[in-house]
Structure 1
């Protein structure tokens, strides 16, 4: 890894220098815009992510140009109307900027429109010139980056995707091997083993798949097959949940015959993963291998796997309400699903298109679907406060370049809000440091450089050194800020007619400092973005999203015109986990950091059991629906909805939550115990399916109780009293 440390700095420095030199050679007046495009695209994981970001940057630039043209044309003579209309555009762009698919395009659209409006000074001619220059500079930067990064040691998203699938397959193989050991030694399957994929892993696969679609012809040409593989990975989550439910229902040890059949079944499932690992390992280690070589390797190394049956489990229904049958059915489904995944993976790698795969898209429940996210709405409110404060500073405090405060506050405010837990104070401190270093070179070195190749060499050396020494993933902020400050402080030196004025650079630093101070107070004072507050907010959002999800599950009425959806609970847990890594836990003696990690794991488990229960309930309604049983289930769910409707992060509420959850568990267990006596009113299959459904709900409630107990132990409400200071 160390021997290749110079590769990335060399590529970034080459692409950036090339963009500046070409822009100057073509007579374009702001080559630093092309350099900015290179810098931002370089701060990504793979070539596919970079090309995707470049495409979004171009789309956002076009959108920003159109926004600026429309606003200047309609409201050039009506400043208040212009500010109000632009506030609406700001709100939409900031709400969408955290969208994982196209959020960057919305951010660039906002930034470009702001730059054009401010620098164009509401003049039609000047606005057009600035817009045209921004477009051509952005396109040049994207082209230079794509050219250098595509021909010189490209990092393929396809390879990263295959490595991620390979790592997941190895993890599943280890779990299956551990399950076989448990059966042989304990004659039972462990209830502590999670059979499902991490929900973060599924998000990772989706992200890599979208990136690989951009930079890999093989992925793009066989994308429907890869989408099928992704959907099958999602199906595994549900099967893993149902398998855990079956394991929790079984309380006695397996018989010798059952042990033998289970070992055969698990061995067959393990061998399917061995085949998957063999295929992926060969393709990753031999990226240039032809299809014939891959086929030959598969013929020589693929294990033969026979379909298995589990008769001793499928026909064992005396005391366990179909638990053995449920275990057997899910193992068979898992085996069939993994066989399908392997088949589709082979077709995708060998580019063997099967018969047309039909995409099964879930029909929209309403004509208009609106998705709401609380953290996004908070960001919208914050940016509007920042915008109007900066407008007030521009209008009521006379200073040179005052209008630039609006532009800088809006641009850096949107950046700060898009980067969780990056403090504006931290940005300000490092910006001053990098600005001073750039200014020293601007004063003592740049005035002596008169040739274009000298300028190119100056930027090449600076960027190379910066990316070489700050090469760790966690240092990406330093790379971005260092490069952007270098360009910002030396802009006048790379004009067509260079000028050297320290006053301009110092004025820029002063305006940036004022803008960042505004951002700092809003960032920490209005719905604070300090990690402690975000952590608590997301734990509350976890509860709220479960609350509304359960209400939607119970409410069968659907509005065909309008539907409101909120983000998933697992997204809240994921953001809470991210916030927990930024909290200085030494300031909170009564809170144990390891126990906080346990709390987050319980949160993920609750999301997993919630998803499993909703799937079980929906299947039960389709196959074994009974009105009286459903009334009881709805009654229990209503009680759970009432419990999740009240905060857990409080001194006394956690105890009340715990007692209510325990009472609800007892109620469900009593009903579950009465089910055998109802034989005659219901068929045996109905009783078994109901028993399994109640078990699924009990597991979900128990996981919520674990979360509640962990919250009460840690006194997390103390995090609310976190101060902040400049």
Structure 2
């Protein structure tokens, strides 16, 4: 009989749990449940993923040892200084958990610091022993689970090559769909579906690459080439999206007529994408890609109106970028299959010096965690007999960290998994464990219960239930060599959670409101406020002449505009649209998509604004661009303050009037110009800038249309 993957993974976790308990008890180690915690939180689907997580957990435990013992040594006699130092440690860890790298390391460091600091702070004489024991038992759980996953049904990341080929195939299909749209034959719905599939495929590829580097020596040797390929894939996805947006905005142009070499261009890029798929599938690398110059019909382009020429200039620039990126991507794919993983790049990459840019959402989550911990601490100091004593504070750190990882989930979602784990553990602790007389019976009990919880909560979206179910089971049964049984112990542990849930519920409103509706409004306001600041810098100092503070502010607001649409997208599914009249899920999805389009246009504006421009032309049109900038700023300001703006038709009418006026001034200025005043490159740069400005206006009007379609009054109502 063939066992399912779910059954195999449940058996592996249950077996590792039972063996870890057996070894810890045979060594007469205190608190063997720490080894059980390591098994519960390390188990993942593949060997590479599990080993990565195991390494991060071990490193986090060792880091927590050093930090915690330092705090105990420095502040053992001053509880307030000790708490301030402890708050600084878990605050830094909490903030770093929201980053892109080593999130689990920071989570474990904070969690283990809570255990060692609380235990060591109340008993500084035994603090070192507590820290060493915690490291020993964590290492035991990691070692046992790692060995079992290696030798028993090893779940290798065998789908890595298939995931890479699938992602390349989807990008190929997305390119073809965008090209069909370019030729006025595409389907917007098909492109939207392919975009979603490509994003999911890239997420899967990124996860498998991280895991496969650990378990596959060849991939490890070529890791630089794979990471280069990974970055090129992300750039190509962005370029395809910008190209699509440019095509959609150029509604009145018959674009294929302007490009006589379009068929050859398409055949070349189509061939490159095919070669990428074949290379990743293991076929011998084909021909080296040669640069291709895409020509256009100069007479037909000159005959266009100025704004049509600007739209064409943007599209043409995007197609040239696609040519460069597809060539670079093919070279990167060839590099992953070459000996030693040599990286061949056709597009030079420029790394800017890293600058610290605070993430306001991560800071808010950090404040929430610190509020939970400090309220728990003050309740212990001034509240009399709190159930669980200092365990109350330790568990508050654990639950607070869980909320940092999933701030969108309401506290009520924690009730069921916690209650399930407590109920199972209590029944076994009171009625079954007193009947056991040897580890054989206890081991079978631990194995069966762990298997049941892992099997019932095997789906990825049930990670929360699995983690809390296993945690509560481990805490309630409290296995030790000198086992005692007391109903009071179960009741005391159970009483901890209503108090903690009360504290956590309060922090959903204070110091920041974490309800989905209020958080979404806050993210919207920040997005448009940052957009307003970015637009206000257009026409000012270039990035080279700006002060360090101005560059930092621009980088901060650019990062806000780039990341907030995705953050908003994670909150909107948790909004109950049934209680909000005049709001549908489709409207919210459209709003996020249009915010992302506006972000793309703003990025293009700031990438191209510092190109060399004809001074006389910019001088003649300075007043017109100033009027445009002020009008766009006003719209951003209205949206950031009230989510209220003129109707979309009124905005479009204003945009059309401005466009007509500006086109007349451009024609007049160009008629007065000479060849010496306007070089070919300056003309191209001017039309690119003009096209991007028009794109920003169109994207902002689309955003305003989406906002105008939603009734925001219900969002601002107070609910408890």
The alignment's TM-score, normalised by the length of structure 2, stands at 0.86
Partner of residue 654 from structure 1, selected from 645, 652, 677: 645
Residue aligning to 1:339? 327
1:289 maps to which residue? none
How far does residue 510 in structure 1 lie from its aligned partner after superposition? Answer: 0.7
**Where does structure 2 lack aligned partners over 5 or more consecutive residues?**
none
CA distance in structure 2 between the aligned counterparts of 1:194 and 1:315, rounded to whole angstroms: 35
Q: Is the 8 A contact 2:313 2:691 kept in 1?
A: no
How far has the Cα of 1:361 moved from its partner? 5.0
- Equivalent position of 1:15 in the other structure: 16
Matched, 1:701 2:686: no
Q: State the distance in 1 between where 2:253 and 2:187 align.
A: 10
- For 2:395 and 2:614, locate their aligned partners in 1 and report how far apart those are by CA, in whole Å: 56
* Contact 2:258–2:297 (8 Å) recurs in 1: no
The answer to whether the Cα contact below 8 Å between 2:225 and 2:343 also exists between their aligned partners in 1 is: no
Alignment deviations for residues 639-691 of structure 1 (CA, whole Å, 9 cap, x no partner)? 5345424444737x322898568646643553245324333243354234212
Measured after TM superposition, the shift of residue 430 of structure 1 is 3.1
1:404-462 deviations in whole A, cap 9, x for unaligned?
A: 32222232122223222222233134312320121101122222223223322222211
Matched residues in 2 for 1:707 and 1:469: separation?
43
Aligned to 1:472: 459
Q: Work out the CA distance in 2 between the residues paired with 1:495 and 1:82.
A: 30
1:445 corresponds to: 432
Counterpart contact for 1:535–1:577, Cα < 8 Å? no
Please state if 1:173 is matched with 2:172. Answer: yes
Which residue of the partner structure matches residue 401 of structure 2?
414
Aligned partner of 2:548 in structure 1 is: 559
Contact 1:13 1:463 (C-alpha < 8 Å) held by counterparts: yes
Give the corresponding residue for 1:405.
392
Following superposition, the deviation at residue 633 of structure 1 comes to: 4.8
Within 5 Å, give how 1:324-363 maps onto structure 2: 327=315, 330-354=318-342, 360=349, 362-363=351-352
For 1:552 and 1:512, the matched residues in 2 are separated by 51
Aligned partners of 2:359, 2:219: CA distance in 1, in Å?
32
Is contact 2:581-2:711 (8 Å) kept? no
How much has 1:272 moved relative to structure 2? Answer: 2.1
Q: Are the structure 2 counterparts of residues 200 and 420 from structure 1 closer, same or farther at C-alpha, using a change threshold of 3 Å? A: farther
Q: Are the aligned partners of 2:16 and 2:148 in contact in 1 as well (CA < 8 Å)?
A: yes
Q: Determine the C-alpha separation between the residues in 1 that align with 2:192 and 2:420.
A: 48
Over the aligned positions, Cα root-mean-square deviation in angstroms equals 3.7
Residue aligning to 1:317 = 301
- Following TM superposition, by how much is the alpha carbon of 1:484 offset from its aligned partner in structure 2, in angstroms? 1.0
State the match for 1:253 in structure 2: 254
User: Using a 3 Å threshold, how does the CA distance of structure 1 residues 322 and 226 change in structure 2: closer, same or farther?
Assistant: same
1:377 aligns with 2:363: yes
Task: State yes or no: 1:133 paired with 2:130.
Answer: no
> How many angstroms apart in 1 are the aligned matches of 2:697 and 2:155?
45
Change (3 A) 1:551 1:49: farther
CA contact (8 A) 1:196 1:238 kept: no
Matched-pair contact (CA < 8 Å) for 1:447–1:500: yes
Q: Distance in 1 between matches of 2:241 and 2:220?
A: 32
Q: How far apart are 1:204 and its partner, in Å?
A: 6.7
- Check conservation: 2:621, 2:666, Cα contact below 8 A: no
Cα deviation for residue 84 of structure 1 reads 2.6
Task: Tell me the alpha carbon deviations over residues 102-137 of structure 1, each in whole angstroms, 9 at most, x when there is no partner.
Answer: 232222222212211222344333111110011111
The separation in 2 between residues aligned to 1:304 and 1:595, in whole angstroms, is 46
Range 52-61 or range 540-549, more displaced = 540-549
Cα deviation 1:168-190 (Å, max 9, x = unaligned): 43333334444565677x58998
Instruction: Tell me the alpha carbon deviations over residues 704-724 of structure 1, each in whole angstroms, 9 at most, x when there is no partner.
Output: 221222112111342222512
Q: 1:300-699 alignment to 2 at 5 Å? A: 310-313=294-297, 316-320=300-304, 321=309, 327=315, 330-354=318-342, 360=349, 362-364=351-353, 369-399=355-385, 401-491=388-478, 494-550=479-535, 554-555=540-541, 556=543, 557-559=546-548, 563=552, 565-566=555-556, 567-619=559-611, 633=625, 636-637=628-629, 639-648=631-640, 650=642, 653-655=644-646, 663=654, 666-667=657-658, 670-679=661-670, 680=673, 681-699=677-695
- Whole-Å Cα distance in 2 between the matches of residues 182 and 75 of structure 1? 66
Is the 1:314–1:325 contact (alpha carbons within 8 Å) kept by the matching residues of 2? no
- Aligned to 2:645, what secondary structure does the other structure show? helix
Question: What is the CA deviation profile of residues 131-172 of structure 1, one whole-angstrom value per residue up to 9, with x for unaligned ones?
Answer: 001111112222222222234444455734x44443343333
Q: Equivalents in 2 of 1:6, 1:142: separation in Å?
A: 21
Matched-pair contact (CA < 8 Å) for 1:182–1:189: yes
Q: 1:428 to 1:328 in 2, by over 3 A?
A: closer
Query: Is the Cα–Cα contact under 8 Å of residues 609 and 696 in structure 1 kept in the other structure?
Result: yes
Equivalent-residue separation in structure 1 for 2:236 and 2:455 (angstroms): 42
Report how far residue 585 of structure 1 moved: 1.5
Per-residue displacement from partner, 1:494-529 (whole Å, max 9, x unpaired)? 212222222112211112321221112212454232
Q: Give the total of aligned pairs.
A: 698
Choose 99-108 or 311-320, whichever is displaced more: 311-320
Q: Where does residue 290 of structure 1 map in the other structure?
A: none
Give the whole-Å Cα distance in 1 for the aligned partners of 2:600 and 2:487: 58
List per-residue Cα deviations over 1:201-251 (Å, max 9, x = no partner): 677765654454444433332222223223323432554366447644573
Q: Partners of 2:204 and 2:298 in 1: how far apart? A: 36
Q: 1:509 to 1:326 in 2, by over 3 A?
A: closer
Q: 1:484 to 1:75 in 2, by over 3 A?
A: same
CA distance in 2, matches of 1:623, 1:146: 66
Find the aligned partners of 1:157 and 1:666 in 2 and give their Cα distance.
58
Stretch of structure 1 that moved more, 678-687 or 688-697: 678-687
1:144 maps to 2:144: yes
Which segments of 5 or more consecutive residues in structure 1 lack a partner in the other structure? 284-293
Quote the offset at 1:316 in angstroms. 4.8
Match of 1:5 in 2: 6
SS at 2:357 equivalent: strand
Q: CA–CA distance in 1 between the matches of 2:419 and 2:186? A: 62
Q: Is the 8 A contact 1:661 1:705 kept in 2?
A: yes
Structure 1 equivalent of residue 264 of structure 2: 264
Length-normalised TM-score, structure 1 = 0.85
CA–CA separation in structure 2 for the residues paired with 1:431 and 1:469: 14
